[in-house]
A and B are shown apart, each in its own frame.
Chain A
């Protein structure tokens, strides 16, 4: 098990480095520097600014310093547009918000998705089943940037139950709609995956044996069927995580939650390279770490896997 984790780490580290190098190469390849304004700055001022941000050094040195600062001090450098802000500072402001509703959305999607999938499989061809499969199709044509406006239309404008946006320290009224907008399509996807794998497991030999022994249905499902059936869901969690973290950008912008996505989009509109790069790298690292955790969990649950 330990060698398995170590081997996965050996893959994860180069992946992160590749991501950093890609972002850096893109930035160097950019036409015009980040400080090219409409009215050109005097050369000595320009030189001063570049020295301040370390842009006068050779590229290799810049990359090395950048990585070193991230690893040692969690410092992604200063923002190129807001003189008083550092990228780490922006991340520290926005990340807790994103993390809060992101975790909720993830938990809701997994728990309810799995439950819905199990019920749909056990009560195959009943209304629960049709609801689960039908909503899975519906959710795949309603990505979060469509669902968000629709939710606000229904729950804010028509029913007047929930606020349309804002965060206010994460009071529950303000969390519900972002979580719903983010979680729904993954909930549906997980339900669909869980349903088909559960159907397969329920038709296998060891379940028939358990039923022949006269075990109650609840026990069969919880003790025998759930564990093997959940494996395909586990391998979907990695892609779902990436998709959710991407979707959080839309949620942040649309619901003005003040999460990391809002800074990211603002930075993109202002061509604030260092913020974009910092967020991209942070998200990449999170993704890779998460994939690692999923792999470990998978290996732990599935006795058939060799490592």
Chain B
């Protein structure tokens, strides 16, 4: 259409209801304009596809030992499409592709579980503490202070040693630590929100405190909670890989990026000629962390009301 009738154009814009721009549409626009963050998000999607779909591509099970390669691992275990070992094999002759897929998946799961716990427990804890204020607040926050000053990695390892090194225990341990920082942040934000008019109005109309927290406070915390939860994921991934690096994490046949990096590193440092055993897990580890940091950063720029 070359020409538009100015009259109909005007009436169209007039009748179309003005669409409000919510916080979230605004934030999405700002996020998409941030090129580093969108690229990181794309990388993250690829990594997730790799972690959750890679199992269909892998030619071997993660704990299948390829006996044909024994003794000639360094020359025949190299990454290649012909043998079906896309990432080569590890020192025991197991398919590194399948193992990296599984390790990456475990890392992502740990990160997501940890930050979910933080979102649910930490947000509620912080919101309740901040909203109630006074003595309850200071007791609740003192508890967080005390828990935070305990070197949790040691307690977590103690936990794993005593109750066995299972995936469930790892999730529980990570969940125990992750919510503390979130609680502090949510509380701080709640303190500023609770003096706003809409909360006063809710109090005046007789809404119960718990409902106020859930309906009026928590939704307004979401922006900062999302940002912090995203930045928490790489932290949780590092925790888990740290434990696995020491050999105290999940047990075989399960594996994790931390233990893959550990065995790859010892392979390389003992003069082994199989450096891919370090490079592939290391690449996925670093790429995952990088992507999460940039996405978190982009989200902060998009959602943080201070930087408008």
B151 lies within 8 A of A287 (CB): yes
A128-155 vs B, CB cutoff 8 Å, 1 = contact: the mask equals 0000000001001111011011001100
CA distance A14 to B139 in the complex (A): 13
Does any Cβ of B come within 8 Å of A293's Cβ?
Answer: no
Measured between beta carbons, the chain B residues less than 8 angstroms from A254 are 265
A161 to chain B, nearest CB (A): 15
A265 lies within 8 A of B246 (CB): yes
Does any Cβ of A come within 8 Å of B278's Cβ?
Answer: yes
Chain B interface bracket (under 10, 10 to 19, 20 to 34, 35 or more): 35 or more
A140 lies within 8 A of B162 (CB): no
CA distance A237 to B83 in the complex (A): 51
B262 lies within 8 A of A145 (CB): yes
Given contacts A249-B246, A253-B246, A273-B162, contact A149 B265 (CB under 8 A): yes
B261 lies within 8 A of A280 (CB): no
Which one of A17-25, A44-52, A89-97 contacts B? Answer: A17-25
On B, residues with C-beta under 8 Å from A are 142, 145-146, 149-151, 153-155, 157-164, 234, 238, 241-242, 245-248, 258, 261-262, 265, 268-269, 271, 278, 282, 285-286, 289-290, 293
Measured between beta carbons, the chain B residues less than 8 angstroms from A26 are 155, 158-159, 162
Which one of A119-127, A186-194, A238-246 contacts B? Answer: A238-246
Given contacts A26-B159, A280-B158, contact A11 B261 (CB under 8 A): no
B158 lies within 8 A of A238 (CB): no
A141 lies within 8 A of B158 (CB): no
CA distance A141 to B235 in the complex (A): 9
Beyond the given A23-B158, A149-B268, please list 14 additional residue pairs across the A-B interface where CB-CB is below 8 A: A11-B145, A11-B146, A145-B241, A146-B261, A149-B261, A149-B269, A238-B149, A246-B154, A269-B247, A277-B158, A280-B154, A284-B151, A287-B151, A291-B149
B157 lies within 8 A of A268 (CB): yes
CA distance A238 to B246 in the complex (A): 24
CA distance A74 to B262 in the complex (A): 35
Closest A residue to B159 using CB positions = A26
Measured between beta carbons, the chain A residues less than 8 angstroms from B246 are 249-250, 253, 265, 268
Measured between beta carbons, the chain A residues less than 8 angstroms from B268 are 149, 153, 157
CA distance A11 to B141 in the complex (A): 13
Measured between beta carbons, the chain A residues less than 8 angstroms from B234 are 140-141
Does any Cβ of B come within 8 Å of A15's Cβ?
Answer: yes
A276 lies within 8 A of B293 (CB): no
B234 to chain A, nearest CB (A): 8
Shortest 9 CB-CB distances between A and B: which pairs? A149-B265, A141-B289, A280-B154, A30-B162, A145-B245, A246-B153, A15-B146, A283-B151, A268-B161
CA distance A23 to B164 in the complex (A): 15
Contact of A141 among B145, B155, B278, B293 (CB under 8 A): B293
A279 lies within 8 A of B162 (CB): no
Closest A residue to B297 using CB positions = A137
A280 lies within 8 A of B155 (CB): yes
B154 lies within 8 A of A279 (CB): yes
Contact of A157 among B157, B159, B248, B269 (CB under 8 A): B269
Measured between beta carbons, the chain A residues less than 8 angstroms from B289 are 140-141
B155 lies within 8 A of A22 (CB): yes
B159 lies within 8 A of A19 (CB): no
Closest A residue to B271 using CB positions = A157
Measured between beta carbons, the chain B residues less than 8 angstroms from A284 are 150-151, 154
